């Protein structure tokens, strides 16, 4: 029996403060819940409509996941989506483990990317381009924000992230003997992404929506790179720019 306490616990997870306190976050909608049930995330609880439960019992039963059956109206009421007639999962957050790009591997660094929709889109793009590691400044949007999870379209299950002092990370990474990896950074006025010979692996730094890469991180960028412009728009959205740069990197290596 789904209780008022469970409902208010789930609603509390709309807020970062309670996600951190409980080390739990929400995954909403049929496809995302199906994907998280097949991932290595630990599932605390699934709240589902009867239809969704019957069609997906193989996924919840295999993991012995506790399931509560509710109406679509109740599901919508406790979640963040405009409507949800399928399911919602309460999932345990992962530990914040350090990430380093291996030789020949591409990793992303996000310096103060604030918009949850942009971060979710970037997870999906990283997943498309086979980028598995994303290092985020502490000021970057919370990856466990329901808007990020939703915009990532399930890609949050296939990408790892770390939050911390990215300038400090780059300072240490740059100083490791034999461990120097190129650090590309998206700037206006950098090298032409169409002709730049990208290294096989390294880091790509993307900056804040309004201000780009900040002054603490900029000194560690070893190669500034720019998407050539053929028209008059002042800039491209950070998600768009991430996709175009990764596309240029992948085709050139």
Cα 168 from Cα 166, distance rounded (Å): 5
Distance of CA 215 to the CA centre of its chain: 24
Q: Which is nearer to a copy of itself, 70 or 108 (CB)?
A: 108
Q: What SS3 class is residue 27?
A: strand
Cα Rg of the chain (Å, integer): 20
Per CB under 8 A, does 17 bind a copy of itself? no
Q: Which is nearer to a copy of itself, 121 or 140 (CB)?
A: 121
Q: What SS3 class is residue 164?
A: strand
Q: Which of residues 178-197 bind a copy of itself (CB under 8 A)?
A: 194
Spatial contact of 53 and 60, defined as CB atoms under 8 Å apart: yes
Per CB under 8 A, does 248 bind a copy of itself? yes
Nearest approach in angstroms of CB 200 to a copy of itself is: 13
Q: Pattern 65-104, binding to a copy of itself, x per CB under 8 A?
A: ----------------------------------------
Cα 89 from Cα 6, distance rounded (Å): 12
Residue from 155, 213, 220, 225 binding a copy of itself (CB under 8 A):
155
Per CB under 8 A, does 154 bind a copy of itself? yes
Q: Nearest Cα to 184, choosing from 168, 196, 166, 195?
A: 196
Per CB under 8 A, does 228 bind a copy of itself? yes
Cα 243 from Cα 227, distance rounded (Å): 11
Nearest approach in angstroms of CB 212 to a copy of itself is: 15
Per CB under 8 A, does 251 bind a copy of itself? yes
φ, ψ of residue 117 in degrees (nearest 5): -60, -40
Q: Would strands 133-137 and 160-164 be described as parallel, antiparallel, or unpaired?
A: parallel
Q: Which is nearer to a copy of itself, 106 or 173 (CB)?
A: 106
Per CB under 8 A, does 210 bind a copy of itself? no
Let me know how many helices (H) and strands (E) the chain has, helices first.
9, 10
Residue from 50, 61, 128, 176 binding a copy of itself (CB under 8 A):
128
Residues forming contacts to a copy of itself in the complex (CB under 8 A) are: 121, 124-132, 153-155, 158, 194, 227-237, 239-240, 243-244, 247-248, 250-251
């Amino acid at each position: 029996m789904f209780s008022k306490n469970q409902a208010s616990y789930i609603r509390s997870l709309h807020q970062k403060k309670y996600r951190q306190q409980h080390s739990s976050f929400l995954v909403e909608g049929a496809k995302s819940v199906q994907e998280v049930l097949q991932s290595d995330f630990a599932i605390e609880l699934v709240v589902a409509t009867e239809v969704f439960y019957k069609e997906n019992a193989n996924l919840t039963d295999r993991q012995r996941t506790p399931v509560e059956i509710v109406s679509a109206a109740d599901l919508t009421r406790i979640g963040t989506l405009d409507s949800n007639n399928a399911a919602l999962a309460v999932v345990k957050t992962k530990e914040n483990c350090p990430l380093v790009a291996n030789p020949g591997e591409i990793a992303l660094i996000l310096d103060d990317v604030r918009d949850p929709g942009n971060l979710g889109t970037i997870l999906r793009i990283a997943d498309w381009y086979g980028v598995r590691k994303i290092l985020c400044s502490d000021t970057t949007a919370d990856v466990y924000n329901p808007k990020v999870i939703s915009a990532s379209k399930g890609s949050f299950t296939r990408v790892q992230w770390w939050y911390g002092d990215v300038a400090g990370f780059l300072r240490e990474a740059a100083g490791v003997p034999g461990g120097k990896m190129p650090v590309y950074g998206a700037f206006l006025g950098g090298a032409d992404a169409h002709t730049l010979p990208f290294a096989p692996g390294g880091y790509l730094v993307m900056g804040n929506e309004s201000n780009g890469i900040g002054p603490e991180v900029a000194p560690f960028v070893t190669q500034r790179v720019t998407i050539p412009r053929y028209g008059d728009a002042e800039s491209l959205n950070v998600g768009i720019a991430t996709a175009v740069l990764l596309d240029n990197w992948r085709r050139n290596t």
